[in-house]
Structure 1
């Protein structure tokens, strides 16, 4: 494995189930120190190094974790060697773990740091390019010393537990700066700390149509720091009634023949450019990546893997498949939002209308396990135009769509994201998805699913770049 670039910051993401096992192991009634090792996949982007906790090795007291020769406790050489070899075989970083007493602050002792200097250069040789490091936890805090090479070490900035109610752990409490006056009214609800958290977020939006354009508008006005919006379609006249920020001038004038428009070099505005215009009008300071591509294009999917959350507003099976995979491989929560109008096949009358929001929690809720990815449609969408013609493939007639139905789904999705991100969601909050039926005026709560043995939410959990995403073949 090649040597890693010299990043200056690192963060750790842990699935809730793994963190639950680790917390139970470390924080026992005896109040003593206990040890473990985490094997983590590694992703490097412009935001720094992100470590994804994939494997947990618990050290047994008195056998694997014993009184130290220079410090209070230590992992035995045999246990360390067994774990580091397992990590090397799977391409994982090696992270030794122990706990200290206390709650909101934690730091390594001098003996801890001396042991790192003695042992980690040798571990880096075994890992052949993957980082080695150490983590120390208090009940509500985490610190890390990550070795990228014998000459370059970085501190862990924070750790995120990616559960239904996500939890962020820092080495010590951080005093937030006062919120910008533009966000005074919402900061009265979220607090300065919550507003600062929103400003640090990188959010992906897949689909910039009816629902995606609303999500883009909401997040921009809420003060999100960085948006990545992916859509390959240009605006059409039929989109104007429901795409936020779209103008008649973005579409081809109805009086202008298509042939003349092509001769003049006129092109309709891409939806992502409209979204960018809306976002920057709402927040001139926002960082915005407009990706004019399909989510199944590798370069587009790659732009999402270090996001803090993703909104899925494209209702194709391929988009569902790719984003569901990113959720579980990269430990990123996803909010899928959609609307549907069902017509009676025989009479053409309206049978049902609903808006739905489905939150995907890494390792806990999955579109595959919930039966929401249709294999037949997935195969049809993956076929080439020539293959579709040979199979007499007929595109579906566009479904009815109304901006108010989209607004219900978009608002519920963004509200759920907001309250979990700023820490206002109750730990007892129910995990069900929600569906609003305006014809009968009721909300349905739908059970989520994560089946044992599912390769997506189980086998590939926290695999990161070790497992390829289901995208188009990458060009050489």
Structure 2
């Protein structure tokens, strides 16, 4: 298994767990986290599916070897439930103190007595324990191969995001190039940005702007995914695009169609242009480009290694995939874009809006909000030729209206919201599930909360926190 290990929990579960561990009586309390598991090249993440709270005096009782212990019945019943649901057993309890914490010798001895048996009972890759102080957490994870590893951090997946470590960490001083912005969120905030791996799906108008903003902010790694090449009609809205990228000498109107086809095949991929922009903006950024469809299984797997996803592609299949990754792997996402709606019969403008829809694990999703159409999912699954023959979709050769300033409004708001969230500056009073649309025709900003369907196949229990235990909704080969 890959190191380091971390634990990720939703904001709601964290608040409930913290209240259980610290009710104000200065005593010890306990619970068990039932977790999914995600393993990537950057480490292994325990994803809290739910929490089983130990009742004081019934499930958590005095111990003749130490202060308190979980009863054998409670431990066995919870371990068997983990085995049945293919989840990992992680016990938790609290100590006093604030910014530093570690297991006592008695704690570690109890792990040595109990955890080998729990590995046998659960038949899972790991079991373990966490111990909390007010602002710190330490972990002891036992792996099926007999090794033990600590946890690097516990991360609360909310707005703002919160990280707890065994002891305080002092980040290095921020590079002089980021002096002005680090005056806002400090060296620690700049270090967080530099450690982030952020994916952008779709490098058109909104995605190309988000890429430039992230690079200027000092994000350490940007993953760019888009299967398309630049066209002349894209030049007015894609940051950094040049006429030569679109092979305009070959593809301009009036050229023979055979020549235009050659030009379109030679045009630069959108991800290549975005990578050029990012590297020009930042000397520290690592850029990974994927000139392919995000629905390809091997491409979708790259998303589970990210810290955030910006979805700037408008297919319903991509929306469904990102919904699944957000709630299955606990990777927050933001759908970002702009739309100009026309009256079908007259061609007049019906509405113009920029949209920002941020989702964190535990909230509702695009499917719950009825922003994913089952009909369009079926149509998108057809080949290009089938769609054109059956005319189920609008003509692929007719481009939707798009203006760079509308995309800029959405991209700037989305990246700014993400930046405030990960650096911990977002107020606790901000609703975590707030979505907005900005309408320049009426000068309105509309806020609305996400819907949440408890039976949803994207964010409901069947997929929630399952990590590697559930297949993503990608193309089937």
TM-score normalized by the length of structure 1: 0.94
Q: C-alpha separation between the residues in 1 aligned to 2:155 and 2:10? A: 9
Q: Does 1:104 align with 2:107?
A: no
Counterpart residue number, 2:464: 461
Gaps of 5+ in 1: none
Alpha-carbon shift at residue 300 of structure 1 (Å)? 1.3
Counterpart residue number, 1:185: 180
Counterpart residue number, 1:267: 266
Q: C-alpha separation between the residues in 2 aligned to 1:208 and 1:98? A: 46
Question: Could you say what secondary structure the match of 2:93 adopts?
Answer: strand
Q: C-alpha separation between the residues in 2 aligned to 1:100 and 1:50? A: 24
From the superposition, tell whether residues 394 and 18 of structure 1 become closer, same or farther in structure 2 (CA, over 3 Å). Answer: closer
Q: Does 1:398 align with 2:393?
A: no
Contact 2:160 2:423 in 1 (8 A): no
Counterpart residue number, 1:176: 171
Question: Could you say what secondary structure the match of 1:413 adopts?
Answer: helix
Q: Does 1:136 align with 2:138?
A: no
Question: Could you say what secondary structure the match of 1:103 adopts?
Answer: coil
1:275-286 aligned at under 5 Å gives the runs: 275-286=274-285
Counterpart residue number, 1:249: 244
From the superposition, tell whether residues 324 and 280 of structure 1 become closer, same or farther in structure 2 (CA, over 3 Å). Answer: same
Contact 2:127 2:142 in 1 (8 A): yes
Alpha-carbon shift at residue 139 of structure 1 (Å)? 2.4
Counterpart residue number, 1:234: 229
Q: C-alpha separation between the residues in 2 aligned to 1:303 and 1:336? A: 18
For residues 37-56 of structure 1, give each alpha carbon's deviation from its aligned partner in whole angstroms, at most 9, with x where no partner exists. Answer: 11111111110111101132
Counterpart residue number, 1:348: 347
Contact 2:83 2:124 in 1 (8 A): no
Contact 2:250 2:263 in 1 (8 A): no
Counterpart residue number, 2:447: 445
Q: C-alpha separation between the residues in 2 aligned to 1:435 and 1:319? A: 20
Alpha-carbon shift at residue 200 of structure 1 (Å)? 0.9
Contact 2:328 2:466 in 1 (8 A): yes
Q: C-alpha separation between the residues in 2 aligned to 1:373 and 1:394? A: 15
Gaps of 5+ in 2: none
Alpha-carbon shift at residue 169 of structure 1 (Å)? 1.4
Moved more, 41-50 or 64-73: 64-73
Q: Does 1:127 align with 2:122?
A: yes
Q: C-alpha separation between the residues in 1 aligned to 2:443 and 2:264? A: 48
Alpha-carbon shift at residue 394 of structure 1 (Å)? 4.1
Contact 1:363 1:450 in 2 (8 A): no
Number of aligned residues: 469
From the superposition, tell whether residues 266 and 355 of structure 1 become closer, same or farther in structure 2 (CA, over 3 Å). Answer: closer
Q: Does 1:56 align with 2:51?
A: yes
Q: Does 1:35 align with 2:37?
A: no
Q: C-alpha separation between the residues in 1 aligned to 2:404 and 2:156? A: 35
Q: Does 1:376 align with 2:375?
A: yes
Q: C-alpha separation between the residues in 2 aligned to 1:68 and 1:269? A: 68
For residues 329-366 of structure 1, give each alpha carbon's deviation from its aligned partner in whole angstroms, at most 9, with x where no partner exists. Answer: 11121111110111222322222211111111212131
Counterpart residue number, 2:311: 312
Contact 2:235 2:243 in 1 (8 A): yes
From the superposition, tell whether residues 12 and 440 of structure 1 become closer, same or farther in structure 2 (CA, over 3 Å). Answer: same
For residues 295-326 of structure 1, give each alpha carbon's deviation from its aligned partner in whole angstroms, at most 9, with x where no partner exists. Answer: 21111111111311111101111111111111
Contact 2:131 2:139 in 1 (8 A): yes
Question: Could you say what secondary structure the match of 2:249 adopts?
Answer: coil
Q: C-alpha separation between the residues in 1 aligned to 2:441 and 2:28? A: 58
Counterpart residue number, 1:113: 108
Q: C-alpha separation between the residues in 2 aligned to 1:86 and 1:338? A: 43
Moved more, 451-460 or 178-187: 451-460
Question: Could you say what secondary structure the match of 2:156 adopts?
Answer: strand
Contact 2:365 2:450 in 1 (8 A): yes
Counterpart residue number, 2:475: 472
Q: Does 1:299 align with 2:302?
A: no
Contact 2:161 2:423 in 1 (8 A): no
Q: C-alpha separation between the residues in 1 aligned to 2:77 and 2:25? A: 27
Question: Could you say what secondary structure the match of 1:465 adopts?
Answer: coil
Alpha-carbon shift at residue 265 of structure 1 (Å)? 11
Contact 1:261 1:267 in 2 (8 A): no
Q: C-alpha separation between the residues in 2 aligned to 1:308 and 1:12? A: 14
For residues 37-91 of structure 1, give each alpha carbon's deviation from its aligned partner in whole angstroms, at most 9, with x where no partner exists. Answer: 1111111111011110113221122222111232211112222222222222322
Counterpart residue number, 1:204: 199
2:158 to 148, 157, 163: 163
TM-score normalized by the length of structure 2: 0.93
Q: C-alpha separation between the residues in 1 aligned to 2:206 and 2:265? A: 27
From the superposition, tell whether residues 113 and 356 of structure 1 become closer, same or farther in structure 2 (CA, over 3 Å). Answer: same
Q: C-alpha separation between the residues in 2 aligned to 1:108 and 1:259? A: 72
Counterpart residue number, 1:413: 414
Contact 1:317 1:374 in 2 (8 A): yes
2:141 to 143, 146, 149: 146
For residues 101-158 of structure 1, give each alpha carbon's deviation from its aligned partner in whole angstroms, at most 9, with x where no partner exists. Answer: 2232221111112222222222223333411111112222221111224642211111
Q: C-alpha separation between the residues in 2 aligned to 1:258 and 1:73? A: 80
